[in-house]
Structure 1
Amino acid sequence: MTLISSSNATHKIASLKMCFYGAGSMAEAMVRGLLDRGLTEPGQISMMNRQNAARMEELTARYGVNTSMIEADKSAMLKEADIVFLMMKPKDAAEAIGQVRELLHPGQLIISVIAGMTIRTLETLLGKPMPIVRTMPNTSSTIGLGATGVSFSAAVSQEQRLLAETMFQAVGLTTVVEERMLEVVTGLSGSGPAYVYYLMEAMIAAGSELGLSEEAARELTVQTVLGAAHMVKATGENPAELRRKVTSPNGTTQAAIEKLDANQFSQAVISAISRAAERAAEMGAEIERKATS
């Protein structure tokens, strides 16, 4: 790859062939984001999975990308790609990589979206020195509002870093972290949408139990969460400060916050995120044991 700067990374991406091994919702989100942002053309993208022909036909019809269920075609897609996205399920990853690693070469950039698989494990499975980008996106990437943590192996050049960051910015916000922090990213933003949905479930249930129709409770909850997130982003203020501004002494909000504090709301959230991060590390260790045994 020739030397590039951040200002022309988007131009460089358009010239590169990409192959997505794995064609689930996250792979589709990436493809849609790349195409919607005009970073590349459908003809530069190939997608494959192990056996779901109907899914391949669906993706070709929807986006015009290259797909095939013929093994020789899939091998050619992998060999010819400049960037290979590994997006298979963690339980299938080691076997799948083992089957195709001879098709891959050090001139390619490997981008992994395999939850829990460390760069070290992936290097072992590939069996050759290759530049590897490990990522942890979340499901909001499917609507272009994702939050993705990104880490790089030592072999990734500055040019390749810019390319990877630019591509993931097509589906939301990207934050570069040390690899050991990706477990924290998993606990915070990777699983984070579920925490917000859980809160929304409780708010909707409360509104319904107190007499609102379920539809009204849902609409009010959705708009409240949306508005609160936009307030933090638009004002740049600390959430704690915004909370204080709407918490009048002896008012309704203070009464509610006191009830949340009595039930250790903040500590429960911190403990939940900590446990999610811990579980991510456990899963990574399990994957490494299986992959290297």
Structure 2
Amino acid sequence: MPSLQESKLAFIGGGNMASAIIGGLVSEGVNKQNIYVSEPWDVNRDKLAAVGVRTTTVNSEAGADADIVIIAVKPQVTKGVCEELGASWTQRQTLPVVVSIAAGITLNSLQEWSRTSDGRSAHVVRVMPNTPALVGEGASGAFASADVTAAEKELVNSLLSSVSKATEWVDKEELLDVVTGLSGSGPAYFFAMVEHLVASATSLGLSQEQATRLATQTCLGAGKMLVESSDEPGQLRKNVTSPNGTTYAALQTFEALGFKETVDKAVKAATSRAAELGNTLAK
């Protein structure tokens, strides 16, 4: 198995997430000519061509001799893309590792759709990234088919590390739905929290600009403390909560309004919806 630096990489789809990963790979010194992107939209394709990677509009051309193929298209078109790729791989002795970031598409579907005409199936890894990957601060969940080797997993880890600071491998595919409810959808939860903090502070007299700067930096600082501290989140919360102080008053309000239950229901709702979408798209 070649190293990431030596591998030929094909991206099927050149949208935001694919562009983020490509940018991370290039910044880490991966040879631009080893990256081939198939993208139908002129604007996206031109942006990627300007980076120096190879581009095409033909999926089978990009994936013809790739060692790793990253499926980065809309879930609704994944089946057609995989069938096109599988048909083009029939003459290959060794099939590529397929990494899918198409939300909700099951491992079984990906293997069946990309099967070659002589019945072989590529080794497949499903990945659930999140949008902070666009700024190199992503968190990803991953699940591999049983035939994926340790070396192939390490290759995928290297690929994701270009944009993801945390990649967690789960041992059951349904746990990717939980990852979706937690970190996949999670950035929106924090955006909503900051949005409401800004609105509240503005209603109390701060300017929109002041409230936004203070709230966003508070979110960034708290996140950095969570990542860098050896304390659990609960302990960090206690560290800033003096008895009967200002933070205590706020947290008591959260508790009285069912904050814990609200977060629990929200994560479960996102997880359930991810499972529902996966079942629908698999048909």
TM bracket (short chain): over 0.9
Partner of 1:192: 186
Secondary structure of the structure 2 residue equivalent to 1:170: coil
- Larger helix proportion, structure 1 or 2? 1
Preserved contact between residue 20 and residue 27 of structure 1 (Cα < 8 Å): yes
Give 5+ residue unaligned stretches, structure 1: 3-11
- Cα offset, 1:99, TM superposition: 2.7
Secondary structure of the structure 2 residue equivalent to 1:80: coil
Measure the CA separation in 1 of the matches of 2:33 and 2:114: 27
- Cα offset, 1:248, TM superposition: 1.1
Partner of 2:22: 31
- Cα offset, 1:98, TM superposition: 2.2
Preserved contact between residue 174 and residue 275 of structure 2 (Cα < 8 Å): no
- Cα offset, 1:53, TM superposition: 2.0
Alignment match of 1:64 (pick from 52, 62, 73)? 52
Measure the CA separation in 2 of the matches of 1:129 and 1:75: 16
Partner of 2:9: 18
- Cα offset, 1:75, TM superposition: 2.9
Cα distance, 1:195–1:211 mapped onto 2, change above 3 Å: same
Preserved contact between residue 147 and residue 189 of structure 1 (Cα < 8 Å): yes
Measure the CA separation in 2 of the matches of 1:234 and 1:279: 32
Residue pairs, 1:119-134, within 5 angstroms: 119-127=107-115, 128-134=120-126
Tell whether 2:146 aligns with 1:157.
no
Secondary structure of the structure 2 residue equivalent to 1:13: coil
Measure the CA separation in 1 of the matches of 2:251 and 2:84: 55
Deviates more, 1:88-97 or 1:211-220: 88-97
Preserved contact between residue 202 and residue 208 of structure 2 (Cα < 8 Å): yes
Measure the CA separation in 2 of the matches of 1:239 and 1:76: 48
Match of 1:67, as an amino acid?
T
- Paired positions, count: 274
Tell whether 2:44 aligns with 1:55.
yes
Partner of 1:177: 170
Alignment match of 1:284 (pick from 271, 278, 281)? 278
Partner of 1:114: 102
Secondary structure of the structure 1 residue equivalent to 2:122: coil
Deviations 1:135-194 (A, max 9, x none): 000000011000000111011111101000111011122111122210000000000000
Deviations 1:44-79 (A, max 9, x none): 001112x31232112111x1000123x4xx533211
Give 5+ residue unaligned stretches, structure 2: none
- Cα offset, 1:15, TM superposition: 1.0
Measure the CA separation in 1 of the matches of 2:136 and 2:181: 20
- Cα offset, 1:230, TM superposition: 1.2
Match of 1:171, as an amino acid?
V
Match of 1:57, as an amino acid?
D
- Cα offset, 1:272, TM superposition: 0.3
Secondary structure of the structure 2 residue equivalent to 1:134: strand
Residue pairs, 1:232-251, within 5 angstroms: 232-251=226-245
Partner of 1:5: none
Measure the CA separation in 2 of the matches of 1:236 and 1:230: 12
TM (norm. structure 1) is 0.90
Partner of 1:226: 220
